[in-house]
Chain A
Amino acid sequence: MLRITNLEVVYCDIILALKGISMEVPSGKIVALLGANGAGKTTAINAVSGIRKTIDLSIEDGSIEFENTAISDKEPHEIVSLGILQVPEARRIFADLTVEENLLIGSYSLQDRSKFRQASDMVYEYFPILKKRAGQYAGYLSGGEQQMLAIARALVAEPKLMVLDEPSLGLAPMIVAEIFQIIERINREQSTAMLVVEQNANVALSIAHYGYVLENGRVVMEGPTEALRENKDIREFYLGLTEIGTQKSFRQVKHYRRRKRWLS
């Protein structure tokens, strides 16, 4: 469905942020894109969403195709109309608008306006709390509710592919678990393909079918979820599952702790 081939992008004509990455999101599947801070995850999905001019990003090489059409030179609104909706990093809900108005904007790309009622009912079914908050300003929602609203706002456009940028960021583990369950349910029931960008590998791999690991603008590893979960490096670097008992020196333990905090 989405195919990225040898994508190379630069910021401000000099900073090489993606050094030829290739990846694919098959229709109806959940794909995880993992990587530490600064790896290039947001850059990759902004390239997919057509966000270039406003952040001074340009595609130097490679291609992005959606349903066998090249999309790498399309404008953001054209890409949305093809059915790719992004749930941006840090949620970016419209704080001065009500929950309902946020959803209304989310539905902007729905051509058939008579579908809006039905689409927002569907969304409220996944996020009942938003229905309770419908008339409130989105800026006053809790972090978890704002993340739900950001997902709901994309979902109401009935996307074919949803791209989520670090939905777990800054949220309590229980809320993260709840949100990821809903993401999985949406995927199952609406057959919406998902590209989930995460630093929290654990939770992302709990719902993904396939995963990629990005480091310094390169895909350094990829595979089906089970294979990734078994992989020793992934266990160590991204899941924080080192066998701590065998580590003797304090320094190593401290290092592990530091890494764990940095990853989770």
Chain B
Amino acid sequence: MEKAMEIIINGLSTGAIYALLALGFVLIFKSTGILNFAQGELCMVGAFFCYTFATLLGLPYVAAFLIAIILGGLLGAVIDFLFFRRLVGEPIFSTIMVTVGLASVITSGAGLIWGHDVYSITAPFTDKTFVLGGVVLGRGALYTIGISILLFIVFVLFFNRSLLGVSMRGTSEDPHTAGLMGINVKKIHMLAWAIGSAVAVVAGIFLADQSFVRLPMSHTGIKAMSAAILGGMDSIKGAIVGGAIIGLVEGFAANYLSGMVVGGFHFGDVKDVTAFSIMILVLMIKPHGIFGKEKVERV
């Protein structure tokens, strides 16, 4: 029981990171039609931003966190301006290849600037614990889950209540008509990239707390993509649920399945395999993902 509790909390904190990344991924895809294969790289760069300000320059953690988010947003806007502004509406193959190229450019750039070592950020909650129902848990997990939930609420309110958020949804449905309403569609695309990158940075900083700051952090991108697809590529809700599911499944698989021996057959580290198997299974039953829907029929 206590073990399950621990797995759930840790699984959810990993899931929250996937969900944040997936959210950015879905946001960029829905707004601009571009599948961003560099989402994991943005996450990795975000952790390096925070590392630079918190560890190298010695700024307070919260300040470093906020500066990193702002830099991440700017980076997203610049990426849109330099590459994707002129690629909107081009075939998806070309745009995907540009994001794949971008991913390796970001990785090499980060390698040049920060090197290929393993670093760490000291957060106020690093190595601190709290006790919940007799279980000792890392405080970082609690912060990750708490702040992610807060962010998700902010996003849901933003996209359902605010003029800008509703306009972003409208623009993703029909950019032509959005233009006729006076919306500057290019500005909306840039905003989607900025927000999508900023949440990736948040994910990267939380991920750094669970492991380290290093270039291979970017591999998380593929998990986030699975989370987004699992959720249906369609909504914030889908990204959040998809992220949570993958985080939890990984947690349980790592604890109960990895290293298991069945009839002389030895399971290795099956954590990743299980997560992807769940995704494949769900997609076989629901090809549009859990919340993915076919278009609302126009009468």
Residue numbers of A with Cβ under 8 A of B are 49, 51, 54, 75-77, 80-81, 85-86, 88, 92, 94-97, 101-102, 104-109, 113, 137, 139-143, 146, 153, 157
16 further interface pairs, Cβ-Cβ under 8 Å (given A94-B170, A107-B163, A142-B299)? A54-B179, A75-B184, A77-B184, A80-B180, A80-B182, A85-B180, A88-B176, A92-B176, A95-B298, A96-B295, A97-B166, A104-B167, A105-B170, A105-B178, A140-B296, A140-B299
**Which one, B175, B182, B185, contacts A81 given CB within 8 A?**
B182
7 contacts between A and B (CB under 8 A): A101-B166, A105-B166, A105-B170, A139-B295, A143-B299, A146-B299, A157-B181
10 nearest A-B residue pairs (beta carbon): A80-B182, A109-B182, A139-B296, A76-B179, A92-B177, A77-B184, A105-B170, A95-B296, A94-B170, A108-B182
Q: A51-B176, A139-B296, A139-B299 are in contact. Are A105 and B184 (CB under 8 A)?
A: no
Rounded to whole angstroms, the CA-CA distance of A244 and B297 in the bound complex is: 42
Out of A76, A113, A137, which one reaches B180, CB within 8 Å? A76
- Give, as a whole number of angstroms, the nearest-CB distance from B258 to chain A: 42
Chain B contacts to A: CB under 8 angstroms: 89, 163, 166-167, 169-170, 173-185, 295-299
A137 to B169, CA, bound (A): 13
CB-based nearest A residue for B184: A77
Give which listed residue, A88, A108, A139, A141, contacts B183 with CB less than 8 A. A108
**Residue contact B183 to A54, C-beta cutoff 8 Å:** no
When distances are taken between beta carbons in the complex, the residues of chain A under 8 Å from B181 are: 80, 85, 105-106, 108-109, 153, 157
Interface of B is mostly: helix
Contact of A77 among B183, B295, B296 (CB under 8 A): B183
Question: Assuming the A-B contacts A97-B166, A101-B170, are A49 and B298 also in contact, with contact meaning beta carbons closer than 8 angstroms in the complex?
Answer: no
Q: In the complex, A102→B297 CA distance in Å?
A: 16
Contact A51 B170, CB 8 Å, known A139-B299, A143-B299: no
A255 to B75, CA, bound (A): 64
Known: A97-B169, A108-B167. A92 touches B174 (CB 8 A): yes
Q: Could you tell me if B176 and A54 are in contact, using CB atoms closer than 8 angstroms? A: yes
Contacts of A101 in B (CB 8 A): 166, 169-170
A157 in contact with B182 given A101-B166, A146-B299 (CB within 8 Å): yes
CB-CB < 8 A to B183: which residues of A?
A: 77, 105, 108
Write the nearest CB–CB distance from A93 to chain B, whole angstroms.
Answer: 8
Q: CB-CB < 8 A to A88: which residues of B? A: 176-177, 180
